[in-house]
């Protein structure tokens, strides 16, 4: 009998957490209808009120290229909204209500999440406003490819949850006990597998940029990369086993102007080991660096003569060029195309 009583108490505690989150976060999530310039409906989703000034956070894929739409709030009021800024490469967008809004949500820190932690998703799936589902954080540190018609990028540290998500949940809240919102629901990757953009330092920077300028300016190299194992000779010399190969270098990009070529393998950037495209994207941009190229394809021997090496092989160190706004310092070890090739199975990402 005592076991049954304890189970009932545990269930009640679980229910209390979920119902409290629903009651406190629910009013901060709006159902948004996206309209075109003629006011015709073109889509729907969710959005989170996050300031007292009527700004809401949602997904870039929810608003698309639309200039605005209509937001419906939990208290029964509606208001038109305008899109302030969107960033397809983080799948975040900021909109502003043209009318009064309920009190904003409390934002948490996704970096403090743990696998197995209780989370509650609040949104408007399939048009059912104010729907709540509960689950756990089933994985952390996931990566999700996003992009627009010209660019592609990997979003890092995506939250994976088994809380049920459906079309219309996009832009809604993922919250933890204490009613802090730690993620913006963004995708359904499969049955029992939903993804959310984390609320962390990076997303705060993106939101601030969208509020201030309506867009996000990123460091730009102009390369597409793929993870690749290093040739034995390069691995022995650098004490590394993997880097990222450049499978495409955009013409006239900072990378091209610095002398980077297809087939080069990036090992370090700004003093940080680079094992994946995500590593390259995580780097903070540096201002004011000047481009410089040091070509070590024919290093000096002790007697002052140059080692010529085998035909088609090279090793070089290149410091990347500078974009018009920002720069990254990149160290590259280059092997022959035959050494670096054959790894397209890993997929690509443009930085």
Q: Give catalytic residue positions.
A: 61, 91, 170
The count of C-alpha atoms lying within 13 angstroms of the C-alpha of 349, restricted to the half-sphere facing its C-beta, is 20
Specify the 3-state DSSP secondary structure of 346: helix
262 token code pair? 């297809």
Tokens 């994985």 locate to: 139
What does DSSP assign to residue 103?
A: P
Tokens 């957490």 locate to: 17
End-to-end CA distance of the chain: 61
Residues 288, 210: contact at Cβ < 8 Å?
no
Residues 184, 174: contact at Cβ < 8 Å?
yes
143 token code pair? 């990566």
* Helix (H), strand (E) counts: the chain: 7, 21
Identify the CA nearest to 244 among candidates 228, 220, 262: 228
Q: What does 275-333 look like in DSSP terms, one character per residue?
A: -SHHHHHHSPPBSSPPPEEE--SS-B-TTSPBP--STT----EEE--B-SS-B--EEEE
Residues 339, 231: contact at Cβ < 8 Å?
yes
**Cα(111)–Cα(98) distance, integer angstroms:** 33
């Amino acid at each position: 009998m005592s076991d049954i009583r304890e189970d009932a108490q545990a269930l009640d505690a679980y229910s209390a957490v979920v119902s409290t989150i629903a009651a406190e976060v629910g009013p901060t999530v709006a159902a948004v209808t996206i309209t075109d310039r003629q006011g015709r409906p073109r889509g729907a989703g969710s959005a989170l009120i996050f300031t007292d000034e009527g700004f809401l956070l949602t997904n870039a894929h929810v608003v698309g290229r639309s200039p605005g739409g209509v937001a419906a709030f939990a208290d029964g009021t509606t208001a038109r909204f305008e899109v302030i800024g969107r960033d397809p490469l983080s799948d975040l967008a900021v909109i502003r209500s043209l009318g009064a809004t309920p009190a904003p949500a409390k934002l948490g820190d996704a970096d403090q999440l743990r696998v197995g932690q209780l989370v509650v998703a609040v949104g408007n799936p399939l048009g059912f406003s104010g729907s709540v589902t509960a689950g756990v954080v089933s994985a952390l540190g996931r990566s999700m490819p996003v992009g627009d018609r010209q660019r592609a990028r990997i979003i890092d540290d995506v939250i994976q949850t088994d809380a049920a998500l459906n079309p219309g949940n996009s832009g809604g809240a993922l919250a933890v006990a204490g009613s802090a919102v730690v993620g913006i629901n963004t995708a359904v990757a499969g049955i029992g597998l939903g993804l959310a953009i984390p609320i962390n330092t990076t997303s705060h920077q993106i939101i601030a940029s969208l509020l201030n300028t309506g867009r996000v300016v990123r460091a730009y190299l102009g390369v597409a990369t793929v993870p690749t194992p290093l040739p034995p000779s390069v691995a022995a010399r650098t004490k590394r086993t993997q880097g990222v190969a450049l499978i495409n270098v955009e013409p006239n990009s900072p990378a091209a102007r610095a002398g980077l070529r297809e087939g080069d393998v990036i090992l370090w950037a700004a003093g940080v080991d680079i094992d994946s495209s995500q590593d390259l994207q995580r780097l903070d941009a540096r201002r004011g660096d000047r481009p410089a190229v040091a070509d070590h394809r024919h290093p000096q021997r002790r007697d002052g003569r140059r080692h010529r090496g085998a035909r088609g092989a090279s090793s070089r160190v290149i410091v990347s060029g500078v974009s018009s706004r920002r720069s990254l310092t990149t160290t590259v070890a280059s092997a022959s195309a035959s050494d670096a090739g054959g790894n397209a199975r890993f997929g690509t990402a443009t930085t």
